[in-house]
Structure 1
Amino acid sequence: MLRKAIAVAGLAGLVAAGTAVPAAAGEDRPRLRRLLHTLTAEDGAPGALAAVRDRRGRTVLTSGVGDVRTGAPVPREGHWRIGSITKTFTATTVLLLVEDGLVDLDAPVERYLPGTVRGNGHDGRNITVRQLLQHTSGLPDYLDHLGIGRIVENPLERHDRDDLLALALAHPPEFAPGTGWSYSNTGYLLAGLVVEAVTGDPLADVVERRVLDPLRLDDTGAPGAATGLPSPHPRGYVRLDGTLLDRTRLSASTAWGGGDLVSDASDLNRFFTALVGGRVLRPGTLREMMRTTEVSPEYGLGLRRVPRSCGAPVWGHAGDMVGFSTLSGATRHGRGATVMVNVKPGLSDAGEQRLKDAFDAALCDD
């Protein structure tokens, strides 16, 4: 469980940030305030949060509620499931092992996981570690075959990672390795197994030792078998056939190295500003992480290049997990931003775009 969160688990009554409403004269970040308000007033999100970190300090805005039953606001320092943003942490861990000489990005998966990737046209001898991290392996995504609906309907069901891998490998490749791009949680399950194979330690321990501890990310960690969230936290919801369902308690066993981490906005902004700012990886390694290809023009190794309206793109990642949807990233000049809504699935189509617009506003507007 999270280190700092355990110490403050009884402090569920922490005061939340002032609720965002349409901006009045003189208020800062009026576009961001309006977008958060629309997300909760029109687009189906019970609550929304935006946090900005730059050289001037930190700003947190919230709108709506973190708990529809009690009407409690979204907590400023709340923990939530960050979903696929976990992939950036996993990729960073792999790249630190590359720097140590324990992993070769262009080595076949077979070197580290002999015999693991076999059958139905899959062969670990032809898939590299780099391709796992860049989603160019051609491996099917096990979530496409498990189905989000099953997770929504059975949120506490546990899934063995060997079974998830077998589910993916029961289907043929999407394409020959290196010839296309297709988002695959299976690749990150294997990347986590590579980390464990070369270190002899559980993935969560290696991520903590190599990434979380050095950056003092005390509110970030893997939940293990726990199905709840550390306090304080917003509740997580899904909307099914028009009905809002509470899915705060959830087994993260379907996600693991591709999506199981819990964090908060402060830690996410600290992580991305440090990573993109060159304070985690060596310059050459960071360039590899940000290097895109013809078949992967926007996605590097666990990092996505995201356009913004006010200048150069930022590097970050999206994270969807049952109950929560998040966008987080940073500029090379030290500005980090995180936006979150506590519903997934269930945001309207307009709301999905509005969440992206809120991320842009958090990165561009003063």
Structure 2
Amino acid sequence: MPIDIPRAEAHLNALLPRYGIPSAAVGVLHDGEVTAFAAGVTDVETGTSATSETVYQCGSMTKTWTALAFMQLVDEGGADLDEPVRAQLPGFAVADPEATARITPRHLLHHTHGIAESFGDPGEDDDVYARMTAAMSDAPQMFPPGSTHGYSAALGYALLARILEVHDGERWDEVMRRRLLTPLGLVDTHTRPEDVDPARTATGHLIRSLEEGPFRTPVDHLPRAFGPGGNITSTVREVLAMAHVVVSGGLAPGGDRVVSAEAVREMTGSRVPVPDPYLIGPQWALGLVVCDWDGRTVYASDGSTIGQNARLRVFPDSGTAVTVLTNGGPREPFHREVCDEILGQLSMPAAPGPPVPRKSRPVDPSRYTGVYRNLGTRYEVSAEGGDLHLTLELDPMQAAVMGRPPRIRYDMLPISGTHFLMPPTHPLEDPQTVALYDFTDGPARFLHTNARIHRRLD
């Protein structure tokens, strides 16, 4: 069934102002055919129209590309998912000697390595990932390797990149071009911002209110330290070329083999549970998130930078993929509404809605109250009259730019004994969820939200 592009474009044009997003590009892979369209402007100051060939920042969707390149190395026998990292990087070490000996590439791909994101400022030079690897020697453990999930924005995938660099004898950017981007025929996908044609690049935007409207982000792109985990830029058509590798069992759109079918099965089949399953999905695979849409398996790869956002949903049972790239947000309902319009046209089921809280209060609020922290992020859970609340301390710079108070207090509405829904406190916020879990020693040891883990302070 072909996509009704005028209808989909009209729907997209109606959604953008409602969410304060300057532009979006949408791509659909279905029955081996790619459909792409866009709406809005790439920059609110220039008014340049977005097209399906506009280049957007993909953020953490980059991790799926890096995972595919690493699985190539595994195919070749150059790496083993379950061999300790230090066997491939002899100088690798973290503060915990046991973790140093145990951490494997599978832990890095799953985000179960437990290393705190502590690597200093490695700079912007070509040796950035070597410097990061050396700088993490005193990084503490948030949890023992393999014991739970805690998203690693930069560190884990920088280690994977360093393994690739050492094996291939070239920097990560060159590894990605040779191993993946060129074989896939990608000419508009880049790992460095300076390689992108500025005339075709979307500018990131933030928003404080719909009345004020979106404004240019003060941060043009992420530091190079985030490269393997967040710095790829691409178009919707080229994101779908990467998705084609997943739905086809390892083949590029032209039919050339990129990775083995076994590698794709390993990527999608090797899974760990996510403590807070509601943001994206209940399981994390190797470079992909595994979603459960009322019993239907859907793979996800999402990403955000400071002003741009990327979403990809892959439906393996029908060989379909939908991607949405924006230069504003993030607003999960926006991406859901865009995706649901496409899926409706294809007679495919829509994404499940957010969880519904129950009416009962926690039996013992003291099991949850306390301070939970992960380096620069601090949450405090408190109880009043039997009700729980979560207070987030915002980064002062973020609070100033976004016009928000330094502390934001959320109500916590129980979904289960470990999961809570937090209604928004601002018109441009979406509902959030949080998990508090591991009551081995009495109170919860961990708080998990937005895929990140925070450890309880004693």
TM-score (norm 1): 0.77
Q: Confirm or deny: 8 A CA contact 1:142 1:165 kept in the other structure.
A: no
| Per-residue CA distance 1:294-335 (angstroms, 9 max, x = gap) | 5355211001123457x8333230011122101024322332
> Matched residue of 2:296: which SS?
strand
Q: Which residue of 2 aligns with 1:339?
A: 324
Letter of the 1:300 counterpart: A
2:52 counterpart SS class: coil
Aligned length: 322
State the distance in 1 between where 2:56 and 2:218 align: 12
Aligned 8 A contact 2:299 2:314 in 1: yes
Residue aligning to 1:295: 273
2:33 partner letter = G
The 1:59/1:247 distance shift into structure 2, 3 A limit, reads: farther
Equivalent-residue separation in structure 2 for 1:53 and 1:127 (angstroms):
37
Residues 318-363 of structure 1, C-alpha deviations (whole Å, 9 max, x = no match): 01112210102432233222102202xx54xxx3222133234434
Hey, what's the Cα distance between the residues in 2 that align with 1:229 and 1:328?
A: 23
Distance in 2 between the 1:284 and 1:105 partners?
Answer: 13
Distance in 2 separating the partners of 1:122 and 1:322:
36
Distance in 1 (CA, whole Å) between partners of 2:176 and 2:129 is: 18
CA distance, structure 2, for counterparts of residue 91 and residue 56 of structure 1: 23
Following superposition, the deviation at residue 49 of structure 1 comes to 2.0
Structure-2 change in CA distance of 1:209 and 1:227 (3 Å): closer
Tell me the distance in 2 between the aligned counterparts of 1:66 and 1:171. Answer: 39
Asked if residue 270 in structure 1 is aligned to residue 238 in structure 2, the reply is: no
Once residues 311 and 118 of structure 2 are traced to their aligned partners in structure 1, the CA distance between those partners, rounded to angstroms, is 23
| C-alpha separation in 2, matches of 1:34 and 1:164 | 46
The structural deviation recorded for 1:169 is 5.8
- Give the match's secondary structure for 2:39: strand
1:355 counterpart = 2:331:
no
Out of 232, 240, 245, the residue aligned to residue 216 of structure 2 is 245
- Judged with a 3 Å threshold, the aligned counterparts in structure 2 of structure 1 residues 56 and 165 are, in CA distance, closer, same or farther, namely closer
Shift of 1:161: 4.3
Cα drift, residue 246 of structure 1: 3.8
Q: State the distance in 2 between where 1:246 and 1:227 align.
A: 20
Q: Partners in 1 of 2:150 and 2:83 — Cα distance?
A: 20
Q: Which has the higher helix share?
A: 1
Contact 1:120–1:172 (Cα < 8 Å) also in 2: yes
Contact 2:92/2:133 (<8 A) preserved:
no
Question: Does residue 142 of structure 2 align to residue 174 of structure 1?
Answer: yes
SS in 2 for 1:123: helix
- Structure 1 residue 238: deviation in Å? 2.5
1:45 to 10, 18, 21: 21
Q: Name the stretch that deviates more: 28-37 or 56-65.
A: 28-37
Identity of aligned pairs, percent? Answer: 28
Alpha-carbon RMSD across the aligned residues, in angstroms, is 3.0
How big is the shift at 1:235?
Answer: 1.7
- 1:231 aligned to 193, 199, 219, which one? 199
- What runs of 5+ residues in structure 2 fail to find an aligned partner? 252-257, 275-281, 347-458
1:168 Cα deviation after fit: 5.9
Alignment match, 2:4: 28
Please name the residue that 1:70 is paired with: 46
Which runs of 5 or more residues in structure 1 are unaligned? 1-26, 147-156
1: CA distance, partners of 2:313 / 2:177: 20
- Residues 22-50 of structure 1: CA deviation (Å, up to 9, x unaligned): xxxxx936885566345421212111221
- Whichever of the two has the greater Rg, that structure is 2
Asked whether 1:220 is paired with 2:189, we answer yes
